């Protein structure tokens, strides 16, 4: 049996610019996200966007569109 390659988390430059975090808190957040991905917990607890209320769906789409046009 082959062992699955661990998933790699790549953070886009500036992804946390709007967060007011100390370096220690930032590092803890990054480690926490990496751990959630490594264990698969982030996927187990994920909610499909179509299961969210319409208002939340629209808000997420708007945020994604703003991020995509920022560059």
Residue 2: inside a domain: no
Residue 18: inside a domain: no
Whole domain around residue 32: which residue ranges?
A: 23-68
Res 4 pLDDT > 80: no
Residue 36: inside a domain: yes
The pLDDT tens digits of the residues spanning 13-56 come to 989 998 999 999 999 999 999 999 999 999 898 999 999 999 99
Residue 5: inside a domain: no
Number of domains in the chain: 1
**Rounded Cα gap, residues 21 and 66, in angstroms:** 22
Residue 40: inside a domain: yes
Residues 26/16, Cβ–Cβ less than 8 Å:
yes
Please, how many CA atoms are within 13 Å of residue 65, restricted to the half-sphere of its CB? 6
**Rounded Cα gap, residues 41 and 33, in angstroms:** 10
**Rounded Cα gap, residues 54 and 56, in angstroms:** 6
**Rounded Cα gap, residues 59 and 19, in angstroms:** 18
Residue 17: inside a domain: no
Residue 58: inside a domain: yes
Residue 53: inside a domain: yes
6 band by pLDDT with thresholds 50, 70 and 90: confident
Res 2 pLDDT > 70: no
């Amino acid at each position: 049996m082959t062992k699955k390659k661990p998933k790699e988390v790549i953070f886009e430059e500036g992804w946390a610019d709007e967060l007011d975090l100390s370096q220690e808190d930032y590092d803890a957040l990054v480690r926490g996200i990496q751990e959630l991905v490594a264990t698969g917990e982030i996927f187990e607890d994920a909610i499909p966007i179509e299961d969210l209320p319409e208002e939340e769906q629209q808000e997420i789409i708007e945020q994604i569109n703003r991020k995509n046009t920022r560059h």
